[in-house]
Structure 1
Amino acid sequence: MKQSRKIVVFMLFVLATWMLTPYYAMAYDDASNAIMHDVVQEGSWIQQDTPSVVDATYGGEQPKSASMPTVIDVTYYGAKPNTQEDSAVPVQRAIAAAAAVDGPVILNFPEGRYDFYAEDAEKRPYYISNTASESENPDVTKTIGLLLKDMKQVTVEGNGSLFMLHGKMTTFVIDQSEDIEIRNVRVDYERPTMSEVKVLEISSNYMDVEVNQDSLYEIRGGQVYWVSEPNKAGARYWEFKDGIAQEYDPDQNITWRTGNPVSSATSVQELKANTLRLNYNQAPNTAVGHVFQIRDGVRSQVGSFIHKSKNVTWKHVTMHYTHGLGIIGQFSENLTFEDMTFAPREETGRTATGFADFIQASGVKGKLKIMNSTFRGAHDDVINVHGTHLEVVRKPAPNQIVVRFMHHQTYGFEAFFPGDAIEFIDNSTLTSVGSGKVVQATRMNDREITLTLEEDVPPTIGTGVVIENATWAPEVEIKGNHFSRIPTRGILLSTRGKSIIEDNVFERMQMSGILIASDAQTWYESGMVQDVTIRNNTFIENGNPVIQIHPENTKYAGPVHRNINIEGNTFQMLDNTVLFAKSTDGIRFSNNKITRTHPNTNPNEQVAFHLLESNHISIEGNEFEGEGVNRTVLLDRTPADEVTISPEQQLHVNDKGVLKSISIAAGNDQTTVKATASSEATQYNGDAKYAIDGNPSTFWHSQWIPYAPLPQSITLELSMKSVVSGLSYLPRQEGYNGNITRL
Structure 2
Amino acid sequence: MKKLIFIFSLLVSFSGFCDKPGEVIQVKKTAAITEDATPYVLKKILENKEAKGIKFEKGTYHFYPDKGLTKFVYISNHKDVFVNLAFPIDGFKDFTIDGQGSTFIFHGKMIPFLVDNSENVSIKNVTIDWAMAFHSEGEIIAHNTEEHSFDVRFGDEYPYEIRNGDIYFIKEYYEHDLGQTIIYDKQRRAIAYNDKKFSPIATSQKSTVQHGIDQVKYKYKVDKSDLTLRKVGTESRLNLKQVAPGVVRFYNHKKQLPPIGTILSTKGQQGENRVAPGIRVNNTNNFHLTDVTIHHAGGMGLLVENSEDIYIDRLKITPSGDRMVSTTADATHFVGCRGFIKMTNSLLENQLDDCVNIHGAYQEVVEQLGEKKLGIRMGHHQQEGYVIGKKGDTIGFVKIDESFTPFDKLTIESIERVNQRYQVITFKEKIPKEVVQGDYIENISAYPEVLLENNKFQGNRARGVLLSTPKKAIVRNNYFHSEMEAIFLPVESSKWYESGATSNLLIEGNTFDNCNFGGTSRGIIRLVTDEDNESIAFNDITIRKNIFKMFDNLVLEASNTDELKFEENTILSSDRFPQLYPENPAFILRSSKNVTFKNNDFQGKATKMMESDKSTINVDFQ
Change (3 A) 1:463 1:223: closer
Q: Is the 8 A contact 2:551 2:579 kept in 1?
A: no
Deviations 1:399-458, CA, capped at 9 Å, x for gaps? 222221111221213212110011111111322211111122222322222222222222
Q: 8 Å contact 1:609–1:633 — kept in the other structure?
A: yes
Which of 75, 100, 109 lines up with 1:128 in the alignment?
75
Q: Mapping of 1:196-275 within 5 angstroms? A: 196-204=137-145, 205=147, 207-219=150-162, 224-229=167-172, 237-255=173-191, 256=195, 258-260=199-201, 266-269=239-242, 271-272=244-245, 275=246
Which residue does the alignment assign to 1:431? 405
Partner of 2:216: none
Q: Secondary structure at the match of 2:109?
A: coil
Question: Is 1:171 aligned to 2:112, yes or no?
Answer: yes
SS of equivalent to 1:311: strand
Does structure 1 conserve the Cα–Cα contact (< 8 Å) formed by 2:150 and 2:257? no
Structure 2 residue 533 is the aligned partner of structure 1 residue 555: yes
Q: Does 1:466 align with 2:416?
A: no
Offset of 1:51 from its aligned partner? 7.0
Find the counterpart in structure 2 of residue 305 from structure 1: 280
Q: Residue 24 of structure 2 aligns with which residue?
A: 71
Give the residue type in structure 2 aligned to 1:637.
K
Q: Which runs of 5+ in 2 are unaligned?
A: 204-235, 517-521
Structure 2 letter corresponding to 1:584:
T
- Which residue matches 1:505? 479
Tell me the matched-pair count. 572
Please report how far the alpha carbon of residue 288 of structure 1 lies from its aligned counterpart in structure 2 after TM superposition.
Answer: 2.5
Task: String of CA shifts for 1:42-93, please: whole Å, max 9, x gaps.
Answer: xxx4699x975278xxxxxxxxxx9xx73311239x77455xx221110012
1:262-661 to 2 correspondence within 5 Å?
266-269=239-242, 271-272=244-245, 275-278=246-249, 280=251, 285-297=257-269, 298=272, 299-346=274-321, 349-428=322-401, 429-507=403-481, 509-543=482-516, 544-556=522-534, 558-598=535-575, 605-626=583-604, 628-640=605-617, 642-646=618-622
Q: Quick one: structure 1 residues 279 and 152, their matched pair in 2 at CA, closer, same or farther if it must change by over 3 Å?
A: closer
CA distance 1:395–1:540, change in 2 (3 Å): same
Give the direction of change, closer, same or farther, for the CA distance of 1:601–1:554 in structure 2 (3 Å limit).
closer
Task: Give the aligned residue type for 2:367.
Answer: R
How far 1:111 moved relative to its partner?
A: 1.4
- Counterpart among 50, 56, 81 of residue 100 in structure 1: 50
Distance, in Å, in 1 between the alignment partners of 2:357 and 2:590 is 24
Tell me if the contact between 1:74 and 1:107 (Cα under 8 Å) persists in the aligned partners.
Answer: yes
Asked if the contact 2:538–2:560 (Cα under 8 Å) also holds between the matched residues in 1, the reply is yes
Taking the aligned partners of 2:405 and 2:556, their CA distance within structure 1 comes to 22
For 1:197 and 1:424, locate their aligned partners in 2 and report how far apart those are by CA, in whole Å. 48
TM-score normalised by L of structure 2 = 0.86
| Greater relative CO (CA pairs within 8 A, separation 6+) | 2
The amino acid across from 2:159 in the alignment is L
**What amino acid maps onto 1:499 in structure 2?**
A
Whole-angstrom distance in 2 between the partners of 1:172 and 1:502:
29
Q: Which amino acid aligns with 2:434?
A: T
Asked if structure 1 preserves the Cα contact closer than 8 Å seen for 2:590 and 2:616, the reply is no
List per-residue Cα deviations over 1:577-626 (Å, max 9, x = no partner). 11111111110100001112139999972111111111111101100114
State whether residues 265 and 278 of structure 1, in contact with CA within 8 Å, keep that contact through their aligned partners in structure 2.
no
Distance in 2 (alpha carbons) for counterparts of 1:259 and 1:520: 25
2:379–2:497 CA contact under 8 A, matched in 1: yes
The equivalent of 2:223 in structure 1 is none
Q: Quick check: 1:115 aligned with 2:93?
A: no
User: How many angstroms does 1:631 deviate by?
Assistant: 4.5
Deviations 1:286-345 (A, max 9, x none): 222200011112123322210101111111111111102221111011111111111111
* Pair 1:163–1:613, CA change in 2 (3 A): same
Cα contact 2:473–2:504 (8 A) shared by 1: yes
- Letter of the 1:545 partner, please give it: G
Compared CA separation, residues 214 and 553, structure 1 to 2 (3 A): same
2:18 corresponds to which of 50, 53, 66: 53
| CA positional deviation for 1:483 | 1.2
Cα deviations across residues 127-157 of structure 1 (Å, max 9, x unaligned)?
122223xxxx6xx323223111111111111
Query: How far apart are 1:108 and its partner, in Å?
Result: 1.1
How far is 1:97 from its partner? 4.3
CA distance in 2, matches of 1:150, 1:552: 39
Structure 1 unaligned segments of length 5 or more: list them.
1-12, 23-40, 56-65, 230-236, 647-743
CA distance in 1, matches of 2:7, 2:352: 54
Q: Match for residue 704 of structure 1?
A: none
Partner Cα separation in structure 2 for residue 572 and residue 554 of structure 1: 31
Contact 2:487–2:524 (Cα < 8 Å) also in 1: yes
Contact 1:332 1:364 in 2 (8 A): yes
- State which structure, 1 or 2, has the greater radius of gyration over its C-alpha atoms: 1
More strand by share: 2
Residue 203 (structure 1) shift = 3.8
Distance in 2, Cα, partners of 1:189 & 1:601: 39
Whether the 8 Å contact between 1:195 and 1:293 is mirrored in structure 2 is: yes
1:253–1:484 Cα contact (<8 Å) kept: no
Q: Counterpart of 2:44 in 1: which secondary structure?
A: helix
The answer to whether the 8 Å contact 1:320/1:345 transfers is yes
Over 3 Å counting, the alpha-carbon distance change for 1:639 and 1:242 in structure 2 is closer
CA deviation after TM superposition for structure 1 residue 208, in Å: 4.0
Counterpart AA for 2:324 = T
Query: Which amino acid is the alignment partner of residue 70 of structure 1?
Result: E
Distance 1:142 1:17, change over 3 A: closer
The answer to whether the Cα contact below 8 Å between 1:567 and 1:589 also exists between their aligned partners in 2 is: yes
Matching residue of 2:101: 160
Give the CA deviation at 1:259.
3.3
* Residues 349-358 or 284-293, more deviating: 284-293
What's 1:141 paired with? 82
Give me the whole-angstrom Cα distance separating, in 1, the residues matched to 2:343 and 2:423. 32
Q: Distance in 2 between matches of 1:47 and 1:600?
A: 63
Which residue does 1:5 correspond to in 2?
A: none
- Give the alignment's Cα RMSD to 1 decimal: 2.8
Give, as a single letter, the amino acid of the residue that structure 1 aligns with 2:354.
Answer: D
Measured against aligned partners, the alpha-carbon deviations of 1:457-513 in whole angstroms (never above 9, x if no partner) come to: 221111342111011101111111111122210011111221101111111x22211
Q: Distance in 1 between matches of 2:13 and 2:608?
A: 75
